[in-house]
């Protein structure tokens, strides 16, 4: 006899979501549905009609966990709409900022899953390791982008200023010092995940992967014509779930996809493993990739080079696209500028892509593993809500203009 297991809200993630699992007599999940219940914030509408420079400042506040990807996706979208080619040094500083943020974000995730995988005798070691890594990563973002949380120096057209030669040498030395600590941390996490004994095949789906770059992002690898976005009633076969869901369903080639560290590793690194363990392994290994990238940039950066392009803010009404590989997955912002004002703005944020994939990933295994599957994908719902309910009584009247392109 079928039974329904509801976890609401799901825990140790950002934002609020529900996991609804239908299970059989053995407790095996036969149908998994995961959806956001986080209210809309409407920042895409707030920036419309305002000067282009307003958007990166406002949309970085969509989420306190991913301010860097949102800032970078926003300025990249504006750069594209305004036809700006930023200087090489500016690009390097942006890549450095994201690399440091990726290390920080993945370390936060390790803190969130620590109760799942870290035994009591190693808990202090693991948490102290996370803290030390985060402290250094945030120091880099602070020095390069102006602030560790809301990066004030990432600007349309490039960066507000280059870093000094003294800062470059200092950051280079600190990241080189971090490397053995980070390597040990990655080895610790991968070993603990392996020791946890997650069932082989748990968390595996048949969803294709979607990534635009090995680490930073590349709008040329995101085809807007292959993207569609549908309302939850068209996706969830449970009307009650569809009513409660607060996010649209993004599809690529008409299918739900998987984004994030494992998707990037599979697309650009030949990583073939799938499922819960693979998600954790790919995320941990990506910390090493990001650190190597950051060190390389600091070794090559010309601190005397210009970092801001000349540009006309008037705009031509071109739809600009910014595709950034945030820690949780591809973060796409779209902006249209004309007459010096933002005429249109939309975000396709990382967790939104994974929402329709995470539910089915719980199927085929005992429901007790459901939360572990969800956390393996590292969802962050704070920025995923993409529509509003007009009638809060019966939640049946939906305003869908926020999803139209």
Instruction: Give per-residue pLDDT as tens, 167-213.
Output: 999 999 999 999 999 999 999 999 999 999 999 999 999 999 999 99
Long-range (24+ apart) CB contacts under 8 A made by 269-277 are 269/214, 274/203, 274/204, 274/205, 275/198, 275/200, 275/201, 275/202, 275/203, 275/204, 275/361, 275/376, 276/198, 276/202, 276/203, 276/369, 276/372, 276/373, 276/376, 277/193, 277/194, 277/198, 277/203
Looking at residue 11, its pLDDT comes to 87
Query: H or E stretch including 339?
Result: none
Looking at residue 129, its pLDDT comes to 96
Render pLDDT for 15-54 as a digit per residue (tens, 0 to 9).
889 999 999 999 999 999 999 988 777 788 889 999 999 9
> CB–CB of 153/145 below 8 Å?
yes
Question: Per-residue confidence at 389, pLDDT binned at 50, 70, 90?
Answer: low
Looking at residue 219, its pLDDT comes to 97
- Phi and psi of 392, rounded to 5°? -80, -5
Looking at residue 402, its pLDDT comes to 45
Least confident of 169-178, 217-226, 316-325, 396-405: 396-405
Confidence check: pLDDT of 115 > 70:
yes
Looking at residue 286, its pLDDT comes to 98
Looking at residue 247, its pLDDT comes to 86
Percent of the chain topping pLDDT 70? 94
> Averaged over 305-330, what is the pLDDT?
96
Please enumerate in sequence order all residues whose Cβ is within 8 A of that of 191, keeping only pairs 6 or more positions apart, or say none.
Answer: none
Looking at residue 248, its pLDDT comes to 86
Question: Per-residue confidence at 14, pLDDT binned at 50, 70, 90?
Answer: confident
Percent of the chain topping pLDDT 90? 80
The distance from CA 105 to its chain's CA centroid, rounded to whole angstroms, is 9
Render pLDDT for 358-388 as a digit per residue (tens, 0 to 9).
999 999 999 999 999 999 999 988 776 666 6
> Averaged over 309-338, what is the pLDDT?
95
Least confident of 6-15, 119-128, 149-158: 6-15
Looking at residue 90, its pLDDT comes to 98
Q: What is the mean pLDDT of the chain?
A: 92
- Phi and psi of 225, rounded to 5°? -70, -20
Render pLDDT for 63-91 as a digit per residue (tens, 0 to 9).
777 899 999 999 999 999 999 999 999 99
pTM: 0.94
Confidence check: pLDDT of 137 > 70:
yes
Torsion of CA 151, 67, 128, 275, to 10 degrees: -150
Confidence check: pLDDT of 285 > 50:
yes
């Amino acid at each position: 006899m079928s039974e329904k297991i509801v976890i609401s809200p799901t825990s140790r993630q950002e934002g609020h979501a529900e996991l609804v699992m239908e299970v059989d007599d053995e407790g095996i999940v036969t149908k998994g549905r995961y959806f956001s219940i986080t209210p809309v914030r409407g920042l895409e509408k707030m920036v419309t009609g305002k000067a282009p420079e307003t958007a990166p400042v406002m949309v970085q506040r969509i989420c306190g966990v991913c301010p860097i990807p949102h800032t970078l996706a926003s300025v990249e979208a504006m750069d594209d709409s305004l036809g700006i080619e930023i200087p090489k040094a500016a690009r390097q500083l942006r890549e450095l900022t994201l690399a440091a943020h990726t290390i920080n974000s993945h370390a936060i995730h390790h803190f969130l899953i620590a109760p799942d995988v870290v035994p009591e005798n190693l808990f202090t070691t693991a948490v102290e390791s996370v803290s030390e890594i985060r402290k250094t990563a945030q120091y880099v973002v602070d020095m390069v982008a102006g602030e560790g949380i809301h990066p004030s120096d990432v600007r349309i057209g490039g960066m507000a200023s280059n870093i000094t030669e003294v800062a470059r040498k200092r950051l280079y030395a600190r990241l080189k010092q971090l490397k053995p600590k980070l390597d040990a941390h990655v080895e610790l996490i991968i070993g603990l995940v392996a020791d946890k004994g997650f069932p082989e095949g748990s968390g595996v789906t048949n969803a294709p992967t979607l990534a635009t770059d090995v680490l930073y992002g590349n709008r040329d690898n995101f085809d807007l014509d292959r993207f569609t976005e549908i309302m939850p009633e068209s996706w969830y076969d449970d009307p009650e779930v569809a009513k409660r869901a607060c996010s649209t369903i993004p599809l690529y080639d008409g299918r739900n996809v998987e984004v994030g560290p494992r998707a990037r590793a599979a697309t650009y690194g030949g990583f073939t493993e799938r499922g819960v363990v693979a998600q954790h392994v790919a995320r941990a290994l990506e910390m090493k990739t990001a650190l190597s990238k950051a060190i390389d940039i600091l070794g090559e950066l010309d601190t005397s080079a210009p970092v801001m392009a000349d540009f006309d803010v008037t705009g031509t009404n071109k739809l600009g696209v910014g595709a950034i590989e945030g820690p949780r997955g591809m973060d796409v912002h779209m902006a249209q500028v004309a007459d010096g004002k933002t005429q249109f703005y939309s975000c396709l944020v990382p967790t939104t892509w994974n929402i329709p994939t995470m539910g089915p990933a719980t199927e085929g295994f005992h429901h007790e593993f459901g939360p572990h599957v969800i956390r393996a994908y590292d969802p962050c719902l704070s920025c995923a809500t993409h529509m509003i309910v007009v009638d809060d009584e019966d939640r049946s009247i939906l305003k869908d203009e926020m999803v139209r392109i």
